Amino acid sequence: MQKIGFIGLGIMGKPMAINLLKAGYNLIVFSRTSIPAEELIEKGATKALSVAEITKVCGTIITMLPDSPQSEEIIIGENGIIQTAKKGALVIDMSSINPIISIKIGEKLASKGIDFLDAPVSGGEQGAIEGSLAIMVGGRKEAFERAIPIFKTLGSSYFLIGENGAGNFAKLVNQIIVTINIAAISEAFILAKKAGLSPTLVYNAIKNGYAGSKVLDSKLPMIVNRDFKPGFKIDLNKKDLQNVMNAGSALNVPLPLTSIVLEILKSISCAGNGNLDNSSIVNFYEDMSKIIVKE
């Protein structure tokens, strides 16, 4: 089976790597922290001590990193993939980063004869575990077709949207909709609770109408059960919305709702709760309203 390098074994990366192992891929992993790498070694992966160890033996390399600086460093940095990857290799960055950086990375790799796909995902930790991620892809059609077997293992949908950068632009669109939806749910159920209503009964009454959504279905139970264990951290969501605002500024697009929700995320992060799940946006409203959304 094909050898694949996998760099970045966090909340999302680790279960994605596990699914590739389950599918029979020969996986070589690299992580700056040893614990997730050791867990994957127990499941059959090989541990690399450097990026170069991966590029020497893998024609396909996947990265799943926190933000743009990490993707730049690992892929096109001084000791990055670009320095030792073979001509004809395929790099798939599944990180959610600034699309302008994805375009830059793609151009630099292309100059070395290396294919590049920016392929951020949506679906959170649960989607990564289940292999049901939505994958948004930017890059050459030929490179996308090479990656389809991998995408089939990791996701339930995968679409080539355009050239490099298109995947991350699509992810920014996704993050606007998801995060504003969570804020709207929080605001709405604060009102329901203040009115003396059962959040669960209100949810059951509205979930099959136009207010229904996957976000409502997944986040309201977490809110009601006070379960803010991170599937997608506030700080990562904040990073994504900051990338949205940066892109909006570059394209001269006004984004008033996004800017408000970004300030809410900043407030939560400043209070020391950036590691909570983004469903904890409700805490911002609860603190203002002096009421808790629970049964």
Structure tokens at 217: 């279905």
Structure tokens at 276: 């909570």
Annotated catalytic residue 171: yes
**Which SS3 state, helix, strand or coil, does residue 29 take?**
strand
**Which backbone phi and psi does 133 adopt, to 5 degrees?**
-65, 150
**Annotated catalytic residue: which of 104, 171, 193, 238?**
171
**Which backbone phi and psi does 4 adopt, to 5 degrees?**
-125, 135
- Asked if 98 contacts 246 with a C-beta cutoff of 8 angstroms, the reply is yes
Alpha helices, DSSP H, located in 33-165:
34-42, 51-55, 68-76, 81-84, 99-110, 124-130, 141-154
- Asked if 137 contacts 117 with a C-beta cutoff of 8 angstroms, the reply is yes
Give CA separation, 189 vs 30, 136, 151, 217, 239, in Å: 43, 31, 36, 13, 26
First to last CA, the chain: 51
CA pair distance 30, 183, nearest whole angstrom: 36
Segment holding 293, helix H or strand E: none
- Asked if 5 contacts 55 with a C-beta cutoff of 8 angstroms, the reply is yes
- Looking at the DSSP bridge assignments, the partners of residue 121 are 135
Which residues form the catalytic set? 171
